[in-house]
Amino acid sequence: MGDTAASFSVSDYLVFTASLAISFGIGVYQWWRSRGRGTDDFLMGGGKMSPFPVALSLLAGIVSAISILGNSSEMYYYGSQLWMNVFGVMLGATLTALLIMPIIYPLKLISIYQILEVRWKSPLLRKLVTVTQVGNIFIFLGIAMYAPSLAISSITPIPTNVSIIVLAVICSLYASLGGAKAVVYTDTFQTFVMFAGVIVVIIQGCAEVGGGTNSWNIDDQHGRIEFFNMDPSPLERHTFMTTLILGTYFGLNTYGSSQVQFQRWGSVGTLRESYMVMVASVVCLVVMWSLINYAGLVVFSVYADCDPLTAGYIEKPDQILVYFVVDKLGYLPGVPGLFVAAVYSGVLSSVSSSLNAIAAMIWTDLLQPTKRFANTSEAKAKNITVAISMVSGIGAMVIGILAGSMGGLVQVSYAISGAIAGPIAGLVLTAILCPWVKSDVFPLYLLSYCLFGAIGLLTSLVMSTVFSCFFGFTQLSDVPEKAVNKTCLRFFHWLKPEKPYLL
């Protein structure tokens, strides 16, 4: 892909630049309109926003550039089974609407983690969860800016770090100046750009192979069409049940315990409108993900007999959609620019929503409850939240640039991010759904830091042993005796059964 940057023409730059300018212009306009308003307007849009743009903003905050590049790549290389997670997402969103929203919405919270203090009267628990989640969001922001910037650098002369800086500056400015309303209305525009970019790929791909039916048949012939793999093994990459579980967890975690999404469905005037936002957002999410997934399958049908990764034209699987745009759409003036604008829109929408969420959490959960900020005026409070948002954008930019030197640690960062989100979601759901659970059940956050390492060590020892009991012990012949404690090895000789206990 070394010469592809040359195919990025003047018309492409115009389309791409116009997209960024419109996003920035919306933010400036909302800043001008909201002058003199307080923190509630900055963080929650005044609590009376229109459901339709809020629903699209909720969608845009979920569908990042990673989704556009990653999901299409997943379909291309591993088939359509992951597509079934949309049913789990619908289930998770339904559970959120039935169990969580009727409790959270009437409380008129600004940070969703205020529910932890309301439920268990523990300011410390609320602060610890907030600090953890802020760190988690920063990890996401860094990767969300780095990964697509790296892919886009292969079809434009824009270096990866320059792309990250541009994204961070634009997001920080319009999210910090215009607040929640700027984020919502720019997200609305960016959603349409993302739809347009993906649809163009589908149309051109189908045209390349003689239509959508031919494309689907090619995918089917090469084993890419699979929706109901009922293999019960948890070791299989994708099955119907594992994707259903993934989608359900994603729906509950994203809609029910994420500050980013809560600031959307909590920013409308009534609970009924909040339900409308949820339904519209889920429907649009299913449509958007389906288009992205289908785009990956269409691109596979084009390259079924000549995989660009195998041929050495691309270096990573998630560059396949970018390569297709350059290879098959580069001759159309402005179309590569539209695709780049779609990817950037995915980044801008996710990052701006996250910056707004960070400002809400740091101000509401960490600063406002302290004596120093307890009596802060509305004007000063708004200035503080603006500053938090701006500084957070700079911090995310630094993490994004550093991600380039992390190499394999980027994947580790994803794992850390997922490991953090799950327990936080569980804590929020426990607060709402388990009235019998008292705060004393959560003593770990009160423990001395001196014990943290020992707890982690023991957990690793115990859990690895338990799972070995389930899935089978190591063969004695495979154990290098010089690397193992002799007493423990003798105990293993005595203990080891011929077969695992369950499998």
Same domain for 440 and 455: no
Assess contact for 286 and 89: CB atoms under 8 A.
yes
Using the 3D structure, point to which of 405, 429, 446 is the last residue of a domain: 446
**Region 414-433: what's the mean pLDDT?**
76
Give the phi and the psi of residue 442 in degrees, each rounded to 5.
Answer: -110, 60
**pLDDT, averaged across the chain:** 84
Q: Is 481 exposed, middle or buried (0-12, 13-18, 19+ CB in 10 A)?
A: exposed
Give 227 or 465, the one with higher predicted confidence: 227
Same domain for 369 and 343: yes
Boundaries of domain holding 465: 451-495
- The closest alpha carbon to 320, from 78, 86, 85, belongs to 78
Residue 489 lies in a domain: yes
Residue 148 lies in a domain: yes
Residue 195 lies in a domain: yes
Same domain for 369 and 297: yes
Same domain for 473 and 335: no
* Residue range 129-157, pLDDT digits in tens: 999 999 989 888 888 888 778 777 777 77
Residue 47 lies in a domain: no
**Region 371-380: what's the mean pLDDT?**
88
* Residue range 242-286, pLDDT digits in tens: 899 888 988 988 899 899 999 999 999 999 999 999 999 999 999
Same domain for 477 and 402: no
In this prediction, residue 215 carries a pLDDT of 95
Same domain for 166 and 20: yes
- Residue 3 above 60 pLDDT? no
Same domain for 426 and 388: yes
Residue 503 lies in a domain: no
Give 471 or 287, the one with higher predicted confidence: 287
Same domain for 274 and 259: yes
Same domain for 464 and 392: no
Task: Give dist(CA 320, CA 322) in Å, integer.
Answer: 5
Assess contact for 167 and 149: CB atoms under 8 A.
yes
Q: Which residues contact 346 (CB under 8 A, 6 or more apart)?
A: 60, 63, 64, 65, 66, 67, 68, 148, 190, 194
- Look at the alpha carbons of 144, 145, 149, 150 in this order and tell me if their dihedral is positive or negative: negative
* Residue range 81-101, pLDDT digits in tens: 999 999 999 999 999 999 899
CA neighbours closer than 13 Å in the CB half-sphere of residue 405? 5
Query: In sequence order, what are the beta bridge partners of 49?
Result: 268
3-class SS string, 327-385: HHHCCCCCHHHHHHHHHHHHHHHHHHHHHHHHHHHHHHHHHCCCCCCCCCCHHHHHHHH
- Residue 189 above 80 pLDDT? yes
Q: How many domains does the chain have?
A: 2
